[in-house]
Structure 1
Amino acid sequence: MLTECVHLPVLLCVTDESQKIVIWCLCCLMTKEPRSSTESGRNSWIRGLLSHVLSTFRFDMKEVCLFTRSLGYESIDYYPSLLKNMVLSLVSELRESHLNGLNTQSRRMAPERMMSLSRVCVPLVTLPDMEPLVEALLTYHGHEPQEVLTPEFFEAVNEAFLLKKIVLPMSSVVSLWFRHLPSLEKATLHLFEKLFSSKRNSLRKMECCIKESLLPQAACQPAIFRIVDEMFRFVLLETDGAPEVLAALQVFTSCLVEALKKENEQLKFALRAYFPYGAPCLTAALSQHPEAIPQGHGLQPLLHISQLLREAVEDCTYGSQRNPFESWFLFVHFGGWVDLAVEELLLRQEAEPPANLLWLLVFYYSPQDGSQQREQSMVKLKVLVNHFLMLLRSGPLSAINLQEAAESASADPRPPVCEQLVRRLLLSLLLWTPEGHAIVWEAVTHMARTDAVTHEIIGFLDQTLYRSHHLCVEASRKLARKLLKELQAQV
């Protein structure tokens, strides 16, 4: 029998240093999902022992035993109630210690005792009765120069939270990640594993996953946002700007902006606290919502953003590679402006495409190019846009003619326009114009000759539907849904 292996007299004599080992052993004996009354009974018995061991942290067990006997209670009945009362007592003590921390005459919990308490709690963080104490420990802020809780406590709480074994209020989550950087890094990596798994996630699923992680809400604190953003930067560099990473970064930024709005209409921190490397005027311009701009009035804000970006990129110190990348990294957080730039190019009434819009798109898709290369790409992009619009005005659209124009722009080595940008322009033209609806499937079939291009088109259609409330009419949304469903069935 298990009761013959672990005796109460032995537990009464354990030292503070051995408490953790005893608790871990007891937790290992518990059945996580009991399937019989025997296993449930054993779990209940072990919980009583855990309560007993934890209670020795605070009470003299000889006095407790005498007291319970005088009341007619057996230990196994008394200890579960003792645990609840002890947790409430410790929570009250922590709160009083926190509130009275500035009063040197007040009794405060000693740092050594805080450390010991957090160490004892490590294997118990998933017990429901312990939730108030875990939250109180996380939100306790003393005035000691060093952290008073053990790293093992933070790690155990973070692991339980990520695996959804415990539920924490937002204030506790922020405090956890703010006080223990490895936990924040692990939470971000945990999110990345979900977002960038082998199965490609739609932007809607990405959004749900990101919001469930609570990272955007916690990132309202600039210090937390900067860490998460740096990890996105590293993944972008390691994957050479993979589309799924760009998409995740843009969805995360959108969730952050939404969280900031819910928290307070007025920003508690200046935008520079979140994006310190960009010019304040550029950051302010990008942070405006392009979806809020009435259709047909997006050109002026786009030209302003393009001008600010161009000045930041092309006026940097000779030989400096930091400013162009930092400007691009700031820009890609707000992908809605790229959608609006494509819309303005293809649905405009002017005879010539505005040069600043051409520059904006070339910079977004080829940030590594130098100034001379970028100018050459702009010339070719201008020719391509004019060619597309001429085909649109000259009569019934032909999928073959559009594809030939796209391939010629991508094949010219002087240098070629980025193929992704060419395909984006072509797909946008087909989806956003009634003339393109009749030939869209034929054109997509011509383009989707490889799995990589097919996945790229799927990503574009998903992105179009994600932001379609501003850019597309209902007919275009229905067509995009149909195309997306058919292409996903093929891969």
Structure 2
Amino acid sequence: MSQLQPQTQLHQTAEEPLLNIQQMQLWLDKAVAWGQADSPDTQRDTCLHLSRLRDFLQQLLTQINNMSSTTETMKRLPFLGQFLGRLCWNPCVTADATSRRLLFQCLWGLYSERPGNAVERKANQWIRKVFCQLATEDDDAAAQAVTKHMGIQPEEYQLRVLRKKVAMLQENIGKSCSSLGNMNLRCSCDCILATSQACVPLVTCPEAAPLISALLQQQVTCVRAQLSEDFLDALSSAYSSKCLSLDEQAVVSLWYHNLSSLEDAVLRLLEGVHTSTGSTPQKLQQQVAQSLLPKACAQHCSIFMVVNDIFRSIIKQAEGSEPVKCLIQSFTSCFLKELTLQQHQRSVSVKAWFPQSPQSLLVPLLTLPSEMPQEAWRRHLDWLSSSLQRLTEEEEKGDGESSSSASSEGHHKVFEAWFLLVQSAHWVQVALQLLVTPGPEDSGPLLWVLTFYYHPTNRGHNRALQLVHAKEAWEHLHSLFSVLARPLPVDRLQSLVTLVSPQPQQLSPPTLLILNLLVNFAVFSQQSLSGSTEILQAVVHRSGLVDEAACLLSSLELKLNGGSCSSSDANRVHLRIKAFQNTLTHMHAA
């Protein structure tokens, strides 16, 4: 109603009442126009004016309480009864807790304990009738106890009204254009928007949970069957502040409909990487597994696109962050498992979820090592290495051209290839494992994959230099872990310590690469446990990388448990991992 402006509270004087007849007439006209709020337009308009209506009801209650009697109140505000009566039949008003409380208090204030005239007796009779009819239409026992003088419980009455409101709104949800028998009839999908708008005050009411869930999971049959943004924002706010409990599927639907709630969920998952004290790969995987995000992504490609874009943005800002990489790897693993379950029900190509990834690399990288014979791993990694090298060569060629668009496209392709490799780090682990026991094949392709994983950009043309460092470290490790006699070669050991030692205040990619090689040599080589422990202990102690080595051992254990890579002597490998973890724990304590 355009003429309704926010009310200004007036100080009551003998000459000037707190409210006047004109104000009451304006709101009465509005209540008449609303009726019982049984159309989308009236429901929407009622909700829009609800805040100002509450202010007016508060002023009205003050006015009633300041009057000496019901007779005086009705004389000052002759339209009061009609106004309150109409609001009592408006479910959008009675469903709002604050409005309902103020409305009830106004009615209680008008009830006369000792009616002194016909006006007050008639008012009491009318108030009883209103309460009785609203509380129940069928239960005579409840109707007998409507007023406080007859032992009424206001909470019970309010709950009945709320349930009626929810039931009425829920009836509207099934009314969509797909349910109309005659296509010439007017589309009724507007009721979805209006119902969701009318549900805004109810989002924290447990009784409204089925209605909210039904709204969120309502299939969209046309563009007009949209949910109110106010409703979605209210749900998102209530859910994030833990004032709202939703079942799993309703949460997934909320993320599907509301971008901000989805972004909040992803950011909370990412915050766990930085805020969790003593965060380990196992803890990160547990956080991911407990999250509904992988399941939601498998159900809705659009949700996965948003989540993947956030991960893409975060890892661009911190490409060397191992915890972020670990989180992305755990997430992708959980997502692919959920996607496999979903694809049993519907056939959707995995390419639909990864449109930006190099399509020639997509399936080869997402394929798990356990899904192919172990003897095929080396050939598979050689092919992946050559394919990735071709992409980087195209990038460098683009850098040399004058066209900035060619260079930008090259960088984009290389980044997407690297991002996919991070997501599919099971092949990085296989490369590490194969480098421990090399056959007659050249180790160059495997080392190149590792170097690319840890050093994707070619800033300052350093990729070749990083590869040289990786090969030198691999040769030192291969030599050290081949020695069966004691003492260990001091020169080789010191050279390895020099290579792996980090720069001040920074873990460089070569450091992480070489440390990972060291951990895998210790775990998978045929060197004795005591000999491997001596080498590992000496290098991590002198380089000060005890915690980092422990994290890599935990990550390796997790990958082996998850079946991302397999070992012919799995029991021996797990025993060695436990032994090394105990050693590093004692070193840390010392």
TM bucket by the smaller chain? 0.7 to 0.9
Q: Aligned AA for 1:92?
A: E
Superposed CA offset, 1:454-485 (max 9, x none):
33212201101101242472233233234435
Q: Aligned AA for 1:358?
A: L
Superposed CA offset, 1:342-373 (max 9, x none):
111111232x5332212111111111126964
Match of 1:255 among 319, 322, 334: 334
Please say if 1:242 is aligned against 2:334.
no
Q: How much does 1:427 deviate?
A: 1.4
**2:94 aligns to what?**
53
Q: Which moved more, 1:100-109 or 1:382-391?
A: 100-109
Cα contact 1:100–1:108 (8 A) shared by 2? no
Q: Residues 50 and 160 of structure 1: is their aligned pair in 2 closer, same or farther, counting only changes over 3 Å?
A: farther
Superposed CA offset, 1:77-113 (max 9, x none):
44423433442343232023364268545576563x5
- Identity over aligned residues, as a percent? 24
Question: What is the TM-score of this pair, normalised by structure 2?
Answer: 0.67
Superposed CA offset, 1:157-202 (max 9, x none):
2344445554434543333222221121111112212233141422
Cα contact 1:98–1:141 (8 A) shared by 2? no
Cα contact 1:195–1:206 (8 A) shared by 2? yes
Distance in structure 2 (CA, Å) of the matches to 1:426 and 1:254: 25
Please say if 1:348 is aligned against 2:438.
yes
**2:202 aligns to what?**
124
Q: Unmatched 5+ residue regions in structure 2?
A: 1-26, 35-45, 56-89, 100-126, 147-153, 400-406
Match of 2:458 among 369, 382, 390: 369
Q: Aligned AA for 2:414?
A: P
Write the mapping of 1:66-145 to structure 2, written as runs, cut at 5 A: 66=133, 68=135, 72=140, 73=143, 74-75=145-146, 76=154, 77-97=156-176, 99-100=178-179, 104-105=183-184, 109=188, 111=190, 114-142=192-220, 145=223
Match of 2:50 among 8, 15, 19: 19
Please say if 1:275 is aligned against 2:365.
no
Cα contact 2:288–2:331 (8 A) shared by 1? yes
Distance in structure 1 (CA, Å) of the matches to 2:550 and 2:493: 18
Q: Aligned AA for 2:439?
A: Q
Distance in structure 2 (CA, Å) of the matches to 1:69 and 1:217: 43
Q: How much does 1:324 deviate?
A: 1.7
Q: Unmatched 5+ residue regions in structure 1?
A: 1-9, 25-48
Match of 1:479 among 576, 580, 584: 576
Which is higher, the Rg of structure 1 or of structure 2?
A: 2
- Match of 2:312, SS state, is helix
**1:28 aligns to what?**
none
**2:529 aligns to what?**
437
Q: Which moved more, 1:456-465 or 1:245-254?
A: 456-465
Match of 1:189 among 246, 249, 267: 267
Match of 1:468 among 541, 556, 560: 560
**2:493 aligns to what?**
403
Distance in structure 2 (CA, Å) of the matches to 1:70 and 1:233: 58
Distance in structure 2 (CA, Å) of the matches to 1:216 and 1:309: 28
Distance in structure 2 (CA, Å) of the matches to 1:67 and 1:380: 81
Cα contact 1:51–1:82 (8 A) shared by 2? no
Cα contact 1:406–1:423 (8 A) shared by 2? no
Q: Aligned AA for 1:332?
A: V
Q: Aligned AA for 1:391?
A: L
Q: Residues 140 and 70 of structure 1: is their aligned pair in 2 closer, same or farther, counting only changes over 3 Å?
A: closer
Q: Residues 55 and 181 of structure 1: is their aligned pair in 2 closer, same or farther, counting only changes over 3 Å?
A: closer
**2:41 aligns to what?**
none
Match of 1:155 among 233, 236, 259: 233
**2:473 aligns to what?**
384
RMSD value, Cα:
4.0
Q: Aligned AA for 1:229?
A: N
Q: How much does 1:452 deviate?
A: 7.5
Q: How much does 1:21 deviate?
A: 7.3
Q: Residues 194 and 53 of structure 1: is their aligned pair in 2 closer, same or farther, counting only changes over 3 Å?
A: farther
**2:418 aligns to what?**
328
Q: Residues 110 and 410 of structure 1: is their aligned pair in 2 closer, same or farther, counting only changes over 3 Å?
A: closer
Q: How much does 1:144 deviate?
A: 5.7
Distance in structure 1 (CA, Å) of the matches to 2:490 and 2:91: 74
Q: Residues 184 and 455 of structure 1: is their aligned pair in 2 closer, same or farther, counting only changes over 3 Å?
A: same
Q: Aligned AA for 2:438?
A: R
Distance in structure 1 (CA, Å) of the matches to 2:201 and 2:305: 31
Q: Which moved more, 1:281-290 or 1:312-321?
A: 312-321
Distance in structure 2 (CA, Å) of the matches to 1:450 and 1:285: 39
Question: What is the TM-score of this pair, normalised by structure 1?
Answer: 0.79
Cα contact 1:325–1:367 (8 A) shared by 2? yes
Superposed CA offset, 1:103-143 (max 9, x none):
545576563x5445434433432332111110121123455
Distance in structure 1 (CA, Å) of the matches to 2:135 and 2:501: 87
Cα contact 1:402–1:426 (8 A) shared by 2? no
Q: Aligned AA for 2:477?
A: F
